[in-house]
Amino acid sequence: MRRTHFTLFVRMFAAAGVVAGVLAPRTEAATLLDLGFGTPFGGATPRSIAMGSTGVALLHGSDALVFNPATLATLEPRVHLDVTVGLSQANEDRLVPILDSFQGFLDDGIIAINHNTYASGEGGIVWRVPVAMPMAVGAGVFDRFDFDYDFFQEVRSSGAPDTLVQNRTLEVAGKLRSISAGYGAEVFAGARIGFSLHRYFGTVDGRSGVETPSSTIADTITSLGQELSGWGWSAGGHYHLNERVDLAASYDGAFDVDGATSSSQVVARSSGTTETTASGQRTVSYPGTLRFGVAFHPRNELRTVFAVDAARRYWKGTEETAGVLGQGVSLRDTWDLGIGVEHVFYNEMPLRFGFRYLENYADGESERSIFSAGTAYHVAGTMFSVTGLFHRQTSRQELFRPELIGRGDVKVEDSIVQLVLGASRRF
């Protein structure tokens, strides 16, 4: 979800010395507001995702390496394996107000519709060490921030609606992933601590195109790319208060990712085509994240668990001009809140529901609401899970050609439909 207006991106892409910034992760396709640093992913297993991307106080699987490595020590069987794949349909509608002759509002008219599909995958393993003191180690590959975004718009003259003025496109592809490994152990009865190390990696590629039917105006295509890598860490604690309540907290340390950058700009005129290229190095800073979690197991004949998570990301502590693809981004600290419930029936089939509320770091008036539901079924010792999600976000974004309609911004409605499939096995 990204608030920076398209004009800003076109200007930014046109700067030969400016280079790319950073990338991202999982089945949550990014929107234009998130192009600065990517959309932060939530859970990495279908169970966690279905339960509002909770997991600080409740072990779901290998994604404990990201949520809270202390929960690794709660694993009871010897080995846990999990893999997750996802498919997302991202829909973005851009609308402007339609006014009557007295400047009264009549309705919203759509000026651009963009529907795109994205895929992702991740997974890991957790091993309960066979010693007297409960401890476990784990490793996995996870999506952390997502940059995938595609935009296309036909700009037509308001005086002559059938006259094509310009075609503008923006294509960004990339994810910031991590290879993570960690350790969790019980230090005394009911109390656990854990630590994990992350090797971040990925590539972000962007392409901006401006094409006009008039031969007197140059067509411009600008491409940017950056390879990113860096190190990060997470640490956490988990306390089993009683048979009903678990309390937990964790912290992801701030980290930097850097890598080689490249840029090129092609300008096509009737007199000929010119191309300029540049390369360099760039570092992008990501904030620390403080997480809190509670898991409640009610006194119930059928096994049930409620989970509530809250994460605070300290974006204000990062360098505000270090966004992906080089654009400046004004940042704010954000809350990422999740709530979920799982109810397991007599046949061991679970039913899961969740809600996640995610504030946008680049827009103080924009946030994303995510509704989720899922279930699972055991087959030959393997649990196959399915989760469905619906994301909704509305924002105001600048219009790159306000002179065409006489207003300076547009209403942007983002909606994402996701299907997440996974398999896990404990033995």
Tell me how far apart the alpha carbons of residues 281 and 342 are, in angstroms, rounded to a whole number: 47
Alpha helices in 24-171 (DSSP H): 46-50, 64-67
Rounded to 10 degrees, the C-alpha dihedral 64/366/326/258 comes to: -10
Rounded to 10 degrees, the C-alpha dihedral 68/74/79/80 comes to: -50
- The letter for the amino acid at 125 is I
Residue 400: its pLDDT value, please? 52
Phi, psi of 11 (to 5 degrees): -65, -40
Count of residues in the chain: 427
In the structure, how many helices (H) and strands (E) does the chain have? 3, 18
Tell me how far apart the alpha carbons of residues 11 and 170 are, in angstroms, rounded to a whole number: 12
Tell me how far apart the alpha carbons of residues 226 and 317 are, in angstroms, rounded to a whole number: 23
Sign of CA dihedral 75, 76, 81, 87: negative
Phi, psi of 55 (to 5 degrees): 165, 5
Sign of CA dihedral 108, 113, 119, 122: negative
The pTM score is: 0.85
Residue 404: its pLDDT value, please? 42
Place of tokens 């398209």: 6
> Would residue 405 be called left, alpha or beta, if left means φ above 0 and alpha means ψ between -120 and 50 degrees?
alpha
Give the domains, in start order, of the chain with CATH numbers.
6-426 (2.40.160.60)
- The letter for the amino acid at 309 is D
Place of tokens 């991106």: 9
Structure tokens at 341: 């419930």
Tell me how far apart the alpha carbons of residues 207 and 56 are, in angstroms, rounded to a whole number: 38
The SS3 of residue 367 is strand
Q: What is the pLDDT along the chain (427 residues), one digit of tens a residue?
A: 333 333 333 333 333 222 233 333 333 335 677 877 888 999 999 999 999 999 999 999 999 999 999 999 999 888 999 999 999 999 988 887 777 777 777 777 777 788 999 999 999 999 999 998 899 999 999 999 999 988 887 777 766 556 777 788 888 889 999 999 999 999 998 999 999 999 999 999 988 887 777 655 667 888 888 899 999 999 999 999 999 999 999 999 999 998 888 888 888 766 667 888 888 888 888 999 999 999 999 988 889 999 999 999 999 876 555 555 555 567 889 999 999 999 999 888 999 999 999 999 888 888 999 999 999 999 988 999 999 999 999 888 775 544 444 445 788 889 999 999 999 999 8
Residue 324: its pLDDT value, please? 55
Place of tokens 């295509």: 221
Distance, first Cα to last Cα, the chain: 40
Tell me how far apart the alpha carbons of residues 156 and 168 are, in angstroms, rounded to a whole number: 11
Residue 409: its pLDDT value, please? 75
Strand residue runs (E) in 129-190: 135-146, 149-156, 164-188
